[in-house]
Amino acid sequence: MLPRKFVLLLLLPICLQAGVPKEIQVLADQARNLPPEFAADVLLKLAASPLANDPQWKRGLIEDAFLSAAHAQSPYRKLGDRGDAVFSLHLEALTMQAGAVEAMLALDPRKALTMFRDIPAPELPKLACREALTPDVSAYYQTATTLFANAFTAEQRRDGADIAFLRDRISAIESPSQVVPALKMLDQVELNSQVRTDLTALFAAALDRVNGGDREFAASEPLLMGAAVPEMHETAFLPTLRAYIVRHLSGPRCSDQIKAGQLPESATQFNKLISRIDGTGSQFHPITAEEATPLRDDGAYPPLAAEQSPYTRQVRTAVHALQDDDPSTQAWTEHYFAALKLMESWASEAAASPDDASFTLAAEYFVLLKAAPSAVDQRSAEASFLHFLERQYAPTGNRGLWFVEFHLLLDRARSQSGSDQGWLSDQLIHSRNPVIAVYAQIEKALGKS
């Protein structure tokens, strides 16, 4: 057994790293105790800071961030197109691990490649039409593009390791959510004509196997032809692309994607393209309306629950009525504090959709803050909003959404100046919520970003 003094030395935190400001070291240690997505985000922010001037310490931050990010609540970024209360601040496992790889690239390209290969392939299920959010895995392919350009030695390139790296990425395509970002990757990497032809053929083979749901296909449909055009000189790719489009247009489609009497966008764009390439139609055939006819209507999104909540409607009415009245009157002040009291009565367990209603309430707090004419009123709303965030953190099932709500208040602190900024920042720094406190301390230590 090691002597006790040596055990203590081994347990000393990384904050004893020479040359690193103690304040930053303490923040790094505090960050490691946060939930994984917050820990990874904070560690990457610290690693990117000019205050992290020791390469070995910076490397440790990046490696710890990479490991923490793997356990983030959300596996990859998700996007919606109808106003759902789900937004991204890049706290997803895939996004942050890709970011850690790029941060490591500047320090150790070989290690960056190893880390990238350790990123698990995201599981991208075929989504039903009731799903409002679709995967966005573009960060993975953007990082692959950067690694291809910067992570391989001359010897590795002579051995074809860089091309093998691209082949592995292309061969693994299984979902429509991967098609557009992978096509962009293929367009952006520098290749000689023969290698590009070979990889385009490999892409065609992978694309021929992709048969996803309409929700994922529709999300990428507007970008598909623009991403594919650089490969169009490889005319062998066109039949596969055509088959891919027809396969999805003629399958079950979501209600919001069925436009009676209109050819879908991907078919229209494809037909325009081949008319330029093959004006006589002797080589390629346009996609017909019959081929683009859906097999059936597979349903639609459920309604937005927050819009149906009597409580959220009541809050919106109370807050927005203030914008139409004179804030210099006593009646306005009474209505202002009545709206604030109503918002403080929020009970998430009573909401039909707690996440949607919670974000609606956070957004209304922001409106209320803008409406307040005096510093006293503003501070009352800021304190109430902070208490709401502290109260909402534990019961929420969506840490990423909570973080977006918190960022509304953090951004307000950033935008303020003088005593206003000092008051709000101090409230955040001394918050009982450790996530709020750590991020506020980072703002203070690193300055406005």
Q: Over the stretch 359-414, which tens digit does the pLDDT of each residue have?
A: 888 989 988 888 888 888 899 999 999 999 999 887 777 888 899 999 999 999 98
Q: What is the pTM of this model?
A: 0.88
pLDDT confidence of residue 123:
86
DSSP 180-213: HHHHHHHHHS---HHHHHHHHHHHHHHHTT----
The answer to the question of residue 406 being in a domain is yes
Where does the pLDDT of residue 304 fall: very low under 50, low under 70, confident under 90, or very high at 90 and above? low
What is the pLDDT, as a whole number, of residue 326?
87
Q: pLDDT tens digits, residue range 286-297?
A: 999 999 999 999
Q: Is residue 277 part of a domain?
A: no
Angle at 251 between CA 245 and CA 254, to 5 degrees: 100
88 assigned to some structural domain: no
Is 3 within the bounds of a domain? no
Whole-number average pLDDT of the chain: 88
434: pLDDT confidence band, cut at 50, 70 and 90?
A: very high
- Residue length, the chain? 449
Instruction: Report if residue 196 sits inside a domain.
Output: no
Q: How many separate domains does the chain show?
A: 1
Least confident of 9-13, 84-88, 203-207, 438-442: 9-13
pLDDT band at 448 (very low <50, low <70, confident <90, very high): very low
The reported pLDDT for the residue numbered 398 is: 84
Percentage with pLDDT > 70 across the chain = 88
Q: What is the extent of the structural domain holding 439? A: 307-446
Q: Which among 352, 435, 443, 369 has a CA at the least distance from the CA of 399?
A: 435
Query: What's residue 10's pLDDT?
Result: 40
Q: Please give the pLDDT value at position 349.
A: 55
Residue 82: what pLDDT?
Answer: 54
Does the residue 436 lie in any domain? yes
Q: Residues 208-230: what's their mean pLDDT?
A: 92
Helix (H) or strand (E) holding 78: strand 77-79
DSSP codes joined into one string, 243-306: HHHHHHHTS-B-GGG--TT---HHHHHHHHHHHHH-TT-SS--PPPTTTT--S-B---PPP-GG
For residue 98, being part of any structural domain is answered with no
Please give the average per-residue pLDDT across 247-269, as a whole number. Answer: 95
Q: What is the pLDDT of residue 418?
A: 65
Count Cβ atoms within 10 A of the Cβ of residue 262 and give its class: 0-12 exposed, 13-18 middle, 19 or more buried: exposed
Is 263 among the domain residues? Answer: no
Give the model confidence (pLDDT) of 11-62 as tens digits: 444 445 656 788 889 999 999 999 999 999 999 999 999 888 889 999 999 9
